[in-house]
Amino acid sequence: MNPFLVTDCALIVMATGEKAVNIREMTDRIRRMDDPGIMYFHFWDCLLRPAFIDPEYQNDFASWVYHQLHDRRLAERLAILNPGVFSTMDQLRHKLIEIIEDRMDEPGFDQHIESDSPFFFMRSQIIVFDTQVRLESPETMGAYIRDMALGSVFYHFIDARRRTDSGKNDFTEWLWGWGDPYTTLAGELSEIDPYFKSLLEIREQLATVFARHLKEDVSHG
Amino acid sequence: MGNQLEQYVAVVGEAVVDQLHRLAKPLKGLRVVHVNSTRQGGGVAEILHWLTPLKRELGLEVSWEVVAGESSFYQCTKKMHNALQGNREDIHPALLRVYEETNARNFERLEDTLTHADIVFIHDPQPAPLLSLCPQRKGKWIWRCHIDASHPYRPVWRYLQRFVEAFDASIYSLPRFAQPMRHPLYIIPPSIDPLSEKNIDLTANEIEKATANYGIDIRRPVICQISRFDWFKDPVGVINAYRLAKGFGPPLQLILAGGTATDDPEGEEVLSAVQKAAEEDPDIHILLLPPDAPRTINALQRMADIVLQKSLKEGFGLTVAEAMWKGKPVIGGDVGGIRIQVVNHFTGFLVNTPEGAALRIRYLLTHKDRLHEMGERARAFILENYLLTRHLRDYLSVILALQSGGRDRITLN
């Protein structure tokens, strides 16, 4: 088995200069701006930047609709959008427009509610680099994971969802290659919902899952 | 010197410092120039004082240049600063001439450095015309705007825009501060230095000493707000919140500490209004601090149970990050940069009125477990997001991005 190459990344946040103060402006901007980096930023990058830690409405659109427009119904529908199931960011963008338009068509929906805290459309650039750390076995990975940079956690656990064929994470894909003894571990790692935790907490949970499995394997072996 | 970065390992961990070294590796030997208008005083100089040596330590060839001029130059740039913040400040054409001529004179001195630099950071409006004077430049030029330019006074902005539009990129502290332009608009929030006098860990003894110096009773709850005596910081609102909360029983003490900026004629007026509002209440401690009292501020923040920053208008509000770093939940005004530091109900509370602040003070004092939990989360939040190592990483990342031609995904070899 090839060693696991630990990669790190850093995110550069950029403003597009576009903003929206009500739902009509928001829909208009989403329709007009088809840069996939914008969707990626507002759905995924929130895990790698300070604005995160909204336990209920985890993408920026849902969070803004809830906190600024106070439309709980639309916020709930937006919050459940799972970017991981869309093969392109453009498909996700169209789904987003569809959900908002459906809500706007509902009787009694007020399209004119404005927020004094606008939604700023953002995008990002990501810098990816090799850390030169090579992990030779699942055991060394388990021992190392608590020291892993948060950028690496983002790259291997979040960003991997758009890079890997399975749409899962790099740890799981690599562990699959080790065969039977590690299949359960690989599966459990892929079941961690990344949206309810900060990267620090995700790292902690990964380390806990590794520790438990590796200990069990030792005691069973 | 030489291994300053290593000192941060104990705070942020090895992985964070390693990451800085890796990001900087392809940038070794790059000639980077920062230009601003002062070497002492103000937030920009404060940043450059730590940023310059740390970038050097990472292998970049960094120089820090300062443009200097006569008093009319500073008069003009002060007006520009105010106008960018939204004040209606018309600037006389004669002053604008001084502004351009001063830049031209400074350029004669800096021409060689600026022409051959790989990356030039121009901080704020003062040196902005230098780019138009340097047609032979070989590097990328970035305008770093530290000012809240979300609602600039348009006539002045239009004048400045002629200069800044030509840059290769610009950087702002918050998305809402950014003005749409044709070049990339990067967002880099400010940061605090965990090893500075204002933020470094203090011994219990030192905190107790400060408590005794100011006559604070350590057995009773303390709330504090550290900020200039300025109407926008709403110190009178803080006193009202303290009174409303105390009316429900807790034996509260309030510390209002800060200075008055020398260039702020309103400072004295605000201070007397605050003293009047305090009505000689022995539990309200109004402390007028000298500008060089970072260790005292540190101790005051640490002795408090809760820190307030009840601003009505705020740029970024780094005192919030300072308090959070000390493990304190912050009750902050729902404005400006406070909104991105205080995650409502998680690292503190955002409030809009003295009544709202009083409610949250009472809540936290009666839910000590929540107070401690929020304080711990606040510290972790700052550790992840607002320490100078993150700030340095952002600067390196922007340089790498510009060197790589603006692709969405940049892979370093």
Q: Where are the domains of chain B?
A: 4-191+387-403, 204-385
Q: What percent of chain A has pLDDT over 70?
A: 93
Q: What is the pLDDT of residue B221?
A: 97
Contact A12 B398 (CB under 8 A): yes
| Residue A193 banded pLDDT, cuts 50, 70, 90 | confident
C-alpha closest to that of B161 among B138, B176, B178, B137: B178
What gap in Å lies between CA B216 and CA B225, rounded to an integer? 15
**Residue B261: φ, ψ to 5°:** -65, 145
User: A134: which strand partners?
Assistant: A5
What pLDDT sits at residue B406? Answer: 72
Query: Nearest chain A Cα to B183, which residue?
Result: A16
Of B339, B343, B409, the CB nearest to A126: B409
Q: CB-CB: which of A49, A125, A149 is closest to B15? A: A149
Of residues A199 and A155, more confidence is placed in A155
Nearest CA-CA distance, residue B183 and chain A, Å: 10
Inter-chain contacts counted by CB atoms under 8 A, chains A and B: 102
For residue range A160-184, list pLDDT tens digits in order: 988 888 889 999 999 999 998 899 9
Neighboring chain A residues of B19 at a CB cutoff of 8 Å:
8, 10, 149, 151
Q: Copy the structure tokens of residue B224.
A: 């504090």
**Residue B296 pLDDT > 80, yes or no?**
yes
- Per-residue pLDDT tens digits for B12-37: 988 899 999 999 999 999 999 999 99
Cβ proximity of A23 and A111 under 8 Å:
yes
Answer yes or no: do A200 and B380 touch at CB < 8 A. Answer: yes
Closest CA to A124 of B409, B175, B167, B24: B409
Residue bearing tokens 């500073």 = B74
Please give the pLDDT value at position B326: 98
| Spatial separation of the C-alpha atoms in residues B402 and B405, rounded to whole Å | 5
Q: One fold for both B4-191+387-403 and B204-385? A: yes
pLDDT attached to residue A221: 46
Q: Would the pLDDT of A53 be above 60? A: no
Give the integer Cα–Cα distance in Å for B76 and B94: 10
Enter the tokens of residue B171: 């950087």
CB B173 within 8 Å of CB B316:
yes
Give the minimum alpha-carbon distance from B367 to chain A in angstroms, rounded to a whole number.
21
pLDDT band with cut points at 50, 70 and 90 for residue A55: low
Put simply, the answer to whether B186 touches A14 (Cβ < 8 Å) is yes
Assigned CATH for B4-191+387-403: 3.40.50.2000
Strand order in the sheet with B169-172: B61-66, B31-36, B119-123, B140-144, B169-172, B185-187, A4-20, A119-135, B409-412
Report the percentage of chain B scoring pLDDT > 70. Answer: 98
Alpha carbons B98 and B72: distance in angstroms, whole number: 7
pLDDT of A46: 73
Dig out the tokens for A18 from the structure: 């576009």
Give the residue carrying structure tokens 């004179």.
Answer: B105
Angle value at C-alpha B301, between B298 and B302, nearest 5 degrees: 85
**In the predicted structure, residue B264 carries a pLDDT above the cut 90:** no
Task: Tally the C-alpha atoms within 13 A of residue B349's C-alpha that lie toward its C-beta.
Answer: 20
B409·A125 Cβ contact <8 A: yes
Host H or E run for residue B105: helix B93-116
| Mean pLDDT, chain B, integer | 93
Task: Count the Cβ atoms, other than its own, within 10 Å of residue B66.
Answer: 17
pLDDT in tens, A68-111: 999 999 999 999 998 888 888 999 999 999 999 999 999 989 88
Task: Decide if B397 and A12 are in contact by the 8 Å CB cutoff.
Answer: yes
B185 contacts in chain A (CB < 8 Å):
14-17
Sort out which chain A residues have CB atoms less than 8 A from B179's CB and list them: 17
- Residue B336: which of B150, B179, B169 has the closest Cα? B150
Assigned fold of B204-385:
Rossmann fold (3.40.50)
What integer is the mean pLDDT of B312-333? 94
Q: What band does B261 get if pLDDT is binned at 50, 70 and 90?
A: low
CA-nearest residue to A126 within chain B is B409
Alpha-carbon distance B357 to B363, whole Å?
Answer: 10
What is the token pair recorded at B266? 């309103």
Question: What is the pLDDT, as a whole number, of residue A198?
Answer: 77
Q: Nearest Cα to A10, choosing from A123, A128, A157?
A: A128
The closest CB to that of A127, out of B23, B381, B385, belongs to B23
Please report, for chain A, the start and end positions of each structural domain, with discontinuous segments joined by +: 10-123, 137-220
Q: Does A49 touch chain B (CB under 8 A)?
A: yes
Nearest to B22 among A37, A53, A131 (CB): A131
> Listing from the earlier edge strand, what are the strands of the sheet with B284-288?
B284-288, B253-258, B222-226, B306-309, B330-333, B348-351
pLDDT digits (tens, 9 = 90+) for B141-154: 999 999 888 899 99
| Predicted-complex ipTM score | 0.86
CA–CA gap between residue B408 and residue A99 (Å, rounded) = 27
In this prediction, residues B381-408 reach a mean pLDDT of 91
pLDDT beyond 60 at B303: yes
Query: Could you give the residue ranges of the DSSP H alpha helices within chain A?
Result: 23-32, 36-43, 60-67, 72-79, 89-105, 138-144, 150-153, 170-176, 183-190, 199-220
Q: How far is A180 from chain B (nearest CA, A)?
A: 32
What does the pLDDT average to over B218-230? 93
- Write the burial class of residue B59 (CB in 10 Å: 0-12 exposed, 13-18 middle, 19+ buried): middle
- Quote the pLDDT of residue B376: 95
> Across residues B327-343, what is the average pLDDT?
93
The residues that bridge with A124 in the sheet, in sequence order, are A13
Give residue-wise pLDDT tens across range B232-244: 899 999 999 999 9
Q: Which chain A residues touch B175 with a CB distance below 8 Å?
A: 15, 120, 122
Measured between alpha carbons, how far is A179 from B272 in angstroms, rounded to an integer? 75
Q: Residues B224, B258: contact at Cβ < 8 Å?
A: no
Mean pLDDT, residues B288-299: 90
In 3D space, the residue among A67, A152, A80, A76 whose CA is nearest the CA of residue A115 turns out to be: A67
CA distance B343 to B97: 46
Is A147–B407 a contact, with Cβ atoms under 8 angstroms apart?
A: no
**Are residues B39 and B412 in contact, defined by beta-carbon separation less than 8 angstroms?**
no
Q: Give the tokens for residue B365.
A: 């004092």
What is the pLDDT at residue B220? 96
Q: Tokens 């909204």, residue?
A: A54
SS3 content of chain B, % helix, strand, coil (to 5): 50, 15, 35
Mean pLDDT of B108-125: 97
What was the pLDDT predicted at A14? 95
Mutate to test the interface with A, among B14, B17, B18, B179 (most CBs of A within 10 A): B18
pLDDT higher than threshold 60 for residue B192: yes
Q: Which chain A residue shows the shortest CA-CA distance from B408? A: A125
Report the b/e string of B130-162 with b at 16+ CB within 10 A.
bbebbeebebbbbbbbbbbbbebbeebbebbee
